[in-house]
Amino acid sequence: MPEGPEIRRAADKLEAAVGGEPLTEAWFAFEELKPFEAMLVGKTIDRIETRGKAMLTHFSNGLTLYSHNQLYGVWRVADVGKVAETNRVLRVRLQTAKKAILLYSASDIEILDQGQLEQQPFLQRVGPDVLDETLTVDLVKARLLSPKFRRRQFSGLLLDQAFLAGLGNYLRVEILWEAELAPQHRAEDLSEEQIERLATALLAIPRLSYQTRGQGDENKHHGAVFSFRVFHRAGEPCERCGGIIERTNLSSRPFYWCPRCQK
């Protein structure tokens, strides 16, 4: 399932295709969104923001399209007049003179003004986005040690979007390996040095993934440039200590780690 870096790169691609160009057509599959079609024609997409796995498409008239891909949703870019060959159901089409961006299969879609956006339930629930450049290591450390999160085991905490938005399973695995921590640890049990190392990895790993993934050989998991240290490497030697990487299930997801160096 795509995680924060993949969603952000998808948003970059959509922005590059239609950002700043007047919309010649807006189409929504859901009847409750039909009144907004005429309101968006002639307007531009100013920017596309991501918060974890949610995407916020901000229009020049102050409205925002909120969409969450959930399990099956996917955005595509197409040339105007081209018909996509797909079995997916089209939900949204936003079109300029040359390009169209198309949202398929998603069901969590809303058009909101600024006040409604601030009250949107998912956005109220999620924590800071790991790709937000204003999020610092010190802020992450404070979040780790806050009463809300300090007693949570990392196996579950690093999948909880209320902690940090945009984390997911492969990031959970790679972050804990980088921090040399086992998944059953909790922040309240760690030393200052361990907290510093974990907070640094919580930002560095997702940002490295965003910057490098999608290049190279796409058949190698998520791309050859971002190299997995432990994810999908069960039975192979750990490149840090030479121990054998193991696989189990934690929080209903496959988890990979090196028992020798992740104490």
Tokens 């190392």 — which residue? 197
DSSP 8-state symbol, 226? S
Q: Strands 45-51 and 54-59: what pairing?
A: antiparallel
Measured CA distances, 63 to 10, 37, 59, 66, 78 (Å) = 21, 12, 5, 10, 23
Which of 197, 247, 253, 260 is the catalytic position?
Answer: 253
DSSP 8-state symbol, 83? P
Contact 229, 239 (CB under 8 A): yes
Measured CA distances, 65 to 88, 121, 239 (Å) = 20, 15, 44
Largest CA distance in the chain: 61
Instruction: Name the nearest CA neighbour of 44 among 17, 66, 65, 18.
Output: 18
Instruction: Name the nearest CA neighbour of 131 among 48, 63, 195.
Output: 48
Does 2 qualify as catalytic in the annotation? yes
Which of 8, 51, 53, 143 is the catalytic position?
Answer: 53
Which of 3, 6, 174, 178 is the catalytic position?
Answer: 3
Does 253 qualify as catalytic in the annotation? yes
Does 6 qualify as catalytic in the annotation? no
E strand or H helix that includes residue 223: none
Catalytic residues: 2-3, 53, 253
